[in-house]
Structure 1
């Protein structure tokens, strides 16, 4: 790869879970502005130096290691040298990890980079054959190995006392499912924490704490992310920025663009350009 190589991104075919996104990409310089999303970002650098700011420090990923970015932790991305960087990454919904671990606090890899061989092997199993989908059972087995590898090496978040807290996984899951049902029926509906508490059977502040602990983000951020998922889908189908924003429940195009950029580190127009697609304004 030369420093003059054109940036590109390739999305692997859809997965069986539909909650696991796999990409392969190359960037020659600055890739992403500071942003945060509500999924794990787990992957490996194939060549070059992949640098990123994470939890107050600059990290540098080299081939052979594993990147594990916790949900809702701010980070950016850029090449650490003039040769650019080539990498593979997957974005895994915390709910998938929860289903495997049975309602435990989310695994947390403190430094954002790990040299653990078990975790690296589990990661590579899910980042193979980027031009074809994985078999359903193969994917499920690999996710099981990944979740348990992360759990085995994880540490607690700074200041976290989750080990001594009581939390209600089933109530948090009911609230998460309600968000999905509500936004499917009517994306413009303004869901309240009281509404989630009523449907989950948990008081609103305990539910808010449990949701963060078990799914890595707040209920509002989770709702916003589901709306952004719809925006991306509509833009790829040819919707204009303003129509996609309104259809997904944002007040206007500016409101959507602000959330999009903070979440993905790219503007909607830049994101579409990376996918070779033009959009109506």
Structure 2
């Protein structure tokens, strides 16, 4: 089902088995404020020019170009020309992504993870495999076709990714940032303040903020909003009432949560729920 808003439109689906979300959309002007997702983003620009800032660089994605983002990579989105841009994209959870990758590389140690090498790619085989996987999932082809298309896409993706160790030695500032991240994840449902976090870690809150932003690209409060939005999408997809979700995740009210949804995703919580609700 398409949602229309003047010149802009989007189609949003969520596969009931794999929980892969797919979106095909056309946007003009400003598309998204800076935000991140907890999933890998794998997509192709179909028409127009898609422009977004990611990895401290302005990325320009033209038709036929693939774009690949790791979980929690901050990005925005805009259309530099009046005709806007159209793209198709899959959101794949890290768990499912690693599971499918490990089927291709069964001997990789557990303390490694797969990460994107470059954000943009002109590899035609990769673009074709992404489009095929998108179509199979988005339009609910038989599961055997979905599996075949996803496997082919994963094989092509391995040419554009690398293994990274997940256990590394860290400096004090990095440790502060990582401990702050743990506290934020543990307090999605608590109206926690920055002073409380700094007191827990016994550090100056300004030093905490600088350390956190240097690692994650966002201040702690902005990162917590993103965490709550990700959790909100999950709860909404499972049928929870938007007002209850807003209250549970410490938004001041449903309208407050809705404003953040529109800024980051271009749709409201109710619109998202109508297209992704899992029975």
TM-score normalised over the length of structure 1: 0.62
Other-structure match for 1:125: 132
The SS at the match of 1:59 is strand
1:39 aligns with 2:27: no
Distance 2:123 2:238 in 1: 36
Cα root mean square deviation, aligned: 4.1
Q: Which moved more, 1:141-150 or 1:76-85?
A: 141-150
Q: How does 1:68-147 map to 2 (within 5 A)?
A: 68-102=68-102, 103=110, 105-128=112-135, 132-147=139-154
Structure 2: which 5+ runs fail to align?
Answer: 103-109, 169-187, 191-222
Alignment length (residue pairs): 217
Other-structure match for 1:229: 234
Distance 1:58 1:188, change over 3 A: closer
The SS at the match of 2:116 is coil
Structure 1: which 5+ runs fail to align?
Answer: 166-186, 190-217
Structure number with greater CO (CA < 8 Å, separation at least 6) is: 1
State whether residues 53 and 75 of structure 2, in contact with CA within 8 Å, keep that contact through their aligned partners in structure 1.
Answer: yes
The structure richer in strand per residue is: 2
Instruction: Kindly state the Cα deviation for residue 70 of structure 1 after the two structures are TM-superposed.
Output: 1.1
Q: How does 1:34-73 map to 2 (within 5 A)?
A: 34-73=34-73
1:245 aligns with 2:250: no
Distance 2:259 2:37 in 1: 10
TM-score normalised over the length of structure 2: 0.63
Distance 1:251 1:99 in 2: 33
Distance 2:167 2:251 in 1: 43
Instruction: Kindly state the Cα deviation for residue 109 of structure 1 after the two structures are TM-superposed.
Output: 2.6
- Which residue among 140, 165, 168 is the counterpart of 1:162? 165
State whether residues 107 and 150 of structure 1, in contact with CA within 8 Å, keep that contact through their aligned partners in structure 2.
Answer: no
